[in-house]
Amino acid sequence: MTSSKFLVALAVAATANAHAADAAVATQWGTVAEPAYPATVCGQPLAATLKPVNASADTLDKDPSRSQPDAARIQAAIDACPAGQAVKLVKGAGGESGFISGPLTLKSGVTLWVDTGVTLFASRNPKDYDTGTGACGTAGSASGKLCKPFIVADKTAKSGIVGGGIIDGRGGSLLTSGTNANARSWWDVAYQKRTQNLTPQTFRILQIQNGSDFTLHGITLQNSPNFHVWGYGVTGLTAWGIKLLTPSLAYTRDGYQCPAGTTPDVLTPATCFTPDTAINTDGFDTGYSSNVLLAYSYISVGDDHVAIKSSSGSGAHRHTYAHNHFYYGHALSIGSETNAGVSDIAVTDLSIDGYDSGTGGGLRIKSDSSVGGQVSNVSYTGICSRNISHPLTFDSFYSGATGSLYPSFTGVTVRDFHHLGSSKYQGGTLTFAGYALNGQNNPLTITLDNVVFDGTQPTYTPGHNGASLNPYATHFTLGPGPVSFASSIVASSANGVTITGNGAGGGTARSCGAAFVPLKSVLATSPI
C-alpha cells in the first residue's frame, strides 16, 4: 500500500471506528485485529501465596535473603512450557494476589499471563539484578546498563505478556541491600542524576530485544525504576490495551498532591513521588524496530510517553499509534537518536492531557548533529491536547551536542490537531527548526492542516544551539484547513522559512468533547 493510500485508509478507519471499542487497526503492513489470548495454559496455573497490604509488597520482603520467593517456580514454568501456550499467574484459594520475583527470561512461543486481580511485584533487592559490578542500585560515574531488566525477551519469536493483572516495578520502595539499603528507593537513586549529575543504575520492567512478533495485551506495567517497555531490534511488536503508570497511588497522593517536604528534591528517602520526580520512567520506547503498533492504550509516566529511537541496524520503520490516551509525560517523541533512519510513522486518534506539569509535551521530533539522521513520512491525524507547555516540537537542535550526523526531517504532516489550551501555559510554545548549519541545508518540511489552538495563541521557543531564530529552516505548507496561528509564521529567506498556502481556509476544529478519559476510570491504582 502506498503511503498516500495508507493515510487515507487510516483516516477512514479512525472515523468509522470512533465509537467502536477495540476495532481492528489499519497499519502500514496490513489490518491488525485485537490479539487473542493463548487457548492453552501449560500445566496448572500458578497460584499466588502472598497477600499485599494496600497494594504494596513492602511488608513481605524486608529480609533481602528472601527477596524473590516466586522467581524459581515462575521461571521453571516458563522453561517447561511448550510453544503456543501460556504460563498463567492466578489468585490463591484464600484470596492471595501477590507474587514477588527477581529477573525472568521469556522464551519463544510462550506467553506470560498475569490474571486480573493479580500483581507480579519486582524484587527490591539490587543484588537480584546486578550484572556483576555491584553497581546496581547506586549512582556514580559508570556508564552503561549495570542492572538486568525485570523481564527480558531475547531473540524470541511469538511470545508475549497478557492479562488484566499488574506488573509492578516498585520504584518508590526502599532498597534492601547494598550501600543504599533502607536509605534510598530506586527513584531516589535515579534522582541523583538531577541533584548530583550522577549516572543511576536502575532496571527496566520489560526489555524485548532482537526478536519478532511480541504481543502485549491488557497488561498494566507500573512504578518502573526506569523505562517501562524498551524494545530494540524487534520486527513485529503489538501492544494493545495496555496501561503504563508511574507513580501509582502506593507511592503518592490523589492528584499527586504530595505534602511539602516529602518529594526527592527536598527529602531522601522521599515519601511521596510525582511523575516529575520519578525521572527517566519512559513509557513505551522502541529502538530500530519495525512493524510496531500501540493501540487503545493509556500512558502516564515521568518522561517520554513514547520514544522512537533509531541508532543502529536498519532503522525504525512502519509504526502506528492509534486510539491512545496520554497523561503526564514529555511527549510522543521521535529521537533523539535518528542516525539509522526513521520512516513511515502514523499517529491517529490521540488525546493528551498533561495536567500543567511544566514538562508536558505533545508531538515531538528531536535530534541534533551528534545523533541525527533522516526522518521522513510522519503523520499525526486527529489529536486533542490540553494542559501541556510544549504542544508541537520539531527540533533539529535539541541539544548542544555536535557532530557530523546531521538531522533531516521531511514529509511531516499535522492534521486535525486541536489544542484546548492551558490556564497556566495558555497556548504553550512551539518549535519548528530544520537543520541549516555547517554547510548543510536540511529544511524541515511540514504541512499544517486544520491545526487549531483555542484562546491565547502559542508563542515560539527562542532560537538555541545553532538555530538563530524560531521558526528556522522550515518549509511550511498551510491548509487547506485553518491554522489558527498562521499569522505568526513569517517567510524569511535569511532564516530559510518559506510558506505555501495561508492557513486561512474554512473548517471545523476536531471535536474533543469525549476525548479525555480519567485514568482512574480504567485503572484503579491511578492517582488521576
Reference 365, options 472, 283, 444; nearest CA is 444
Break the chain into its structural domains and give their ranges. Answer: 42-98+110-280, 304-528
Residue-wise pLDDT tens digits, 244-255: 999 999 999 999
Same fold, 42-98+110-280 and 304-528: yes
pLDDT at 12: 36
* Cβ proximity of 327 and 302 under 8 Å: no
User: Across all residues in the chain, what is the average pLDDT?
Assistant: 95
Active-site residue list: 303, 330
pLDDT at 312: 92
The grid coordinates of residue 399 equal 541539544
Residue-wise pLDDT tens digits, 465-506: 999 899 999 999 999 999 999 999 999 999 999 999 999 988
The grid coordinates of residue 103 equal 529477573
Reference 244, options 193, 323, 303; nearest CA is 303
What are the mean pLDDT values of the chain's consecutive 10-residue runs (528 residues total)?
42 38 92 96 97 97 97 98 98 98 98 98 98 97 94 98 98 98 98 97 98 98 98 98 98 97 96 98 97 98 98 96 98 97 98 95 98 98 98 97 97 98 96 97 98 98 92 98 97 96 93 97 98
What phi and psi values does residue 215 have, to the nearest 5 degrees? -125, 130
pLDDT at 21: 59
pLDDT at 468: 85
What pTM value is reported for the model? Answer: 0.95
Q: How many CB atoms lie within 10 A of CB 60?
A: 17
* Cβ proximity of 419 and 453 under 8 Å: yes
* Cβ proximity of 478 and 499 under 8 Å: yes
For the chain, what percent of residues have pLDDT higher than 70? 96
Cis peptide before 458 (omega within 30 of 0): no
- Sign for the CA dihedral angle at 454, 330, 214, 379 comes to positive
Coil, helix or strand for 79?
helix
Residue 387, judged by CB atoms within 10 A of its CB (0-12, 13-18, 19+), counts as: buried
Q: For 42-98+110-280, which CATH class?
A: mainly beta
pLDDT at 3: 44
Classify domain 304-528 by CATH architecture. 3 Solenoid (2.160)
